Amino acid sequence: MNWFIRAASGAALAVCGTIAAQAEDDVARGKYLVTLMGCGDCHTPGYFLGKPDFAHPLSGSDVGFELPGVGVRWGPNLTPDPETGLGKWSDEQVITAIRTGATPGGGKLIPIMPYNDFAALTDADARAIVAYLRSLPPVVHAVSAATVPGETPKAPYMTVVMPK
């Protein structure tokens, strides 16, 4: 019986090692995809001011986008902080937002977020992105509150000009 316990323990360790290696691979793949997709451009503080804060990547922009008829929105915090980031979102909610723009509260992301392009992500790539976002240190950073058209924003923003 002792040989059986050792064999089972060895098999369990091998499975755990394989799972850990896959998780590391997913995080690395997710980081690659997030970099390639330019997520840090709109979601990293300082990026639009020419001084990206790489110590706090993806923790939310300090420069917003003004869209005609929408108002001003700031790229939100994508770290796993439960109060100001994605910490309370399920993996499926994050994937749905990336692919469709739909948020857990029934809202919709602004169209400058290229969710229509990201709809083509494979399930494996979408899960890898979530794995990477979950691997980031949580950063407490509440971005500026959204404004409605005509309201004066309290933080820097740029205007997106729409073709007629």
**Lowest pLDDT segment from 3-7, 21-25, 142-146:** 3-7
Burial class (CB in 10 A: 0-12, 13-18, 19+), 53: middle
- Average pLDDT of the chain is 89
At 39-56, the pLDDT tens digits run 999 999 999 999 999 999
Range of the domain at 29: 2-159
Q: Which residue matches tokens 């083509």?
A: 120
Q: How many CB atoms lie within 10 A of CB 80?
A: 18
| Number of domain units in the chain | 1
Is residue 164 included in any domain, yes or no?
no
Three-state helix/strand/coil letters over 122-136 = CHHHHHHHHHHHHHC
Q: Dihedral angle at the C-alpha atoms of 111, 112, 116, 120, nearest 10 degrees?
A: -150
Quick one: residue 66, left, alpha or beta (phi over 0 = left, psi -120 to 50 = alpha)? beta
Is residue 98 included in any domain, yes or no?
yes
In the predicted structure, residue 15 carries a pLDDT above the cut 70: no
In the predicted structure, residue 12 carries a pLDDT above the cut 80: no
59 with 45: CB under 8 angstroms? Answer: yes
